Amino acid sequence: MKHFAGKIAVITGGGTGMGRELARLLVAEGCNVAMCDILAANMAETRRLCEADRPPHGARVTTHMADVSVESQILRFRDDVARQMETDKIHLLFNNAGIGGGGSLFTDSRESWERTFNICWYGVYYSVRAFLPMLQKADEAHIVNTSSINGFWATLGSTTPHTSYSAAKFAVKGFTEALLTDLAVNAPHIKCSVVMPGHVGTEIVANSRKIQEGVTTDVLTPDEIKRFRERFSILGSDDAELSDEALQAMSDEAARLVIETALTSAAQGARLMLDGVRNDRWRILVGEDAELVDEHVRAAPESAYTEDFFNHCGPAYLRKRHHKGVL
């Protein structure tokens, strides 16, 4: 699929990050876009930006509220897309919705663990199931599933459990690779790609806590502050004794740094995804850090979870290389 003008694209997680930037780029090219998110304010801002980018008499833009981890909401989203776009087909499906959290089976609640896993994995599976008939009716179509660097390297470091997100992203990667054969046999006009971003500047930290906690502000809840203290105590950190205000400042700083220290912007990531579709690439690595880690994991998989490996492929090391111009 070399051109997107006149096509219909569906994007989950369109409220911020690469989902938002995908929508903006596609609409600017004349592609009709339907997107969903769980945070209303984010979705409204994406729509405003898309309409500002839209050429005169250009593409249609529809926004929908849907929790991708709930199949009935995905099915409602599909039916709303068909009705509002007045179509029985779509050409592009970007399964981009995802959150973090629930990293540990020991220190995080089962609810938090499964919330992350269900959005990151079942959101992809339910969406493909729901929209597959509409993709089949198009003359050409492409499914793009967002996994992660953590879909082939399941770590954030030796002191930060990351089980839920990583397990889900491994599932997305495996599912998409298996789809290559399933589609080739049963619907060869539909292509698929798995996207594996490295450190991309998005609002995932801030959005994840809002979704996990069911809040709309950046202010930490008493339960969150309690859990912060418990984690710091387990690690033997003096930060467990910090004031509530200091813990709030640390939370705000973490969300800011994810964006400001990223090696790839959300807009750059979205462009790489669309270039991958145009070039019919089933495997799309986003960011030079993702390419480097992929190379090292493939070369020495048995060493991928050692301290030495992390010291040469972890976020701090990669940022250092980036700032020196090596990446």
Q: Token pair 């989902």 is at which residue? A: 19
pTM for this predicted structure: 0.91
Residues 146-173: tens digit of each pLDDT: 999 999 999 988 888 999 999 999 999 9
In which residue are the tokens 């897309």 written? 81
Which among 61, 48, 62, 55 is positioned nearest to 30, based on CA atoms? 55
d(CA 99, CA 20): 15
Average pLDDT, the chain: 91
DSSP assignment of 195-251: EEE-SEE-SHHHHHHHHHHT-SSSSPPHHHHHHHHHHHHHTT-GGGGS-HHHHHHHH
Q: Assess contact for 29 and 57: CB atoms under 8 A.
A: no
| 182 C-beta neighbours (distance < 10 Å), count | 12
d(CA 8, CA 138): 10
| Token digits of residue 269 | 């990531």
pLDDT at 319: 55
**Contact indicator for 196, 284 with CB cutoff of 8 Å:** yes
Q: Which of 129-138, 193-202, 246-255 has the lowest mean pLDDT?
A: 246-255
pLDDT higher than 90, residue 256: no
Tokens (6 digits) for 42 = 């984010």
CB atoms within 10 A of CB 273: 24
Give the distance, in angstroms, between the CA of residue 65 and the centroid of all CA atoms in the same chain: 17
pLDDT of 118 higher than 50: yes
CA–CA separation, 145 and 308 (whole Å): 31
pLDDT over 90 for what percent of the chain?
69
Task: Label residue 315 by pLDDT band (50, 70, 90).
Answer: low
Question: At residue 165, what is the residue type?
Answer: Y
- What are 103-112's pLDDT values in tens digits? 999 988 999 9
Residue with tokens 């203290």: 229
**What pLDDT, on the 0 to 100 scale, is given for residue 213?**
83
pLDDT in the model for residue 316: 57
Which domains occur in the chain, in start order? Answer: 8-201+265-317 (3.40.50.720), 203-261 (no CATH)
Bridge partners, residue 143, by sequence:
93, 192
Residue type at 193?
S
